Amino acid sequence: FYSPVQIGGEIELLNKIEFQCNIQAIRDCICIAVPRKIIEEKYLKDSKFLEMMYLHIRIYIT
């Protein structure tokens, strides 16, 4: 289970894998979807965004 604030689909985004995501919540939550094209065009060259992605992914690898 994810706890606030979490990212879904980060590995697929970085590996350029096509994906679909289904989210099921056990409590009230807010989900924000950002189109992949926007992420690829604006944020994959942004060092602060990439650092945040790295820190998020590192939690699940270790």
Predicted confidence (pLDDT) per residue in 14-61, tens digit: 667 676 777 788 888 887 888 888 888 888 889 998 888 888 777 666
Q: What share of the chain is helix, strand, coil (3-state, %, to 5)?
A: 45, 0, 55
| pLDDT, position 9 | 62
Report the predicted TM-score, pTM, of the whole model to 2 decimal places: 0.54
| pLDDT, position 47 | 93
The two three-digit tokens of residue 26, written as one number: 């056990």
| pLDDT, position 33 | 80
Long-range contacts of 2-11 (CB under 8 A, 24+ apart): 6/56, 7/53, 7/56, 10/53, 10/56, 10/57, 11/57
Considering only residues 3 and 43, tell me which one the structure prediction assigns the higher pLDDT. 43
What is the Cα–Cα distance from 24 to 26, expressed in whole angstroms?
A: 7
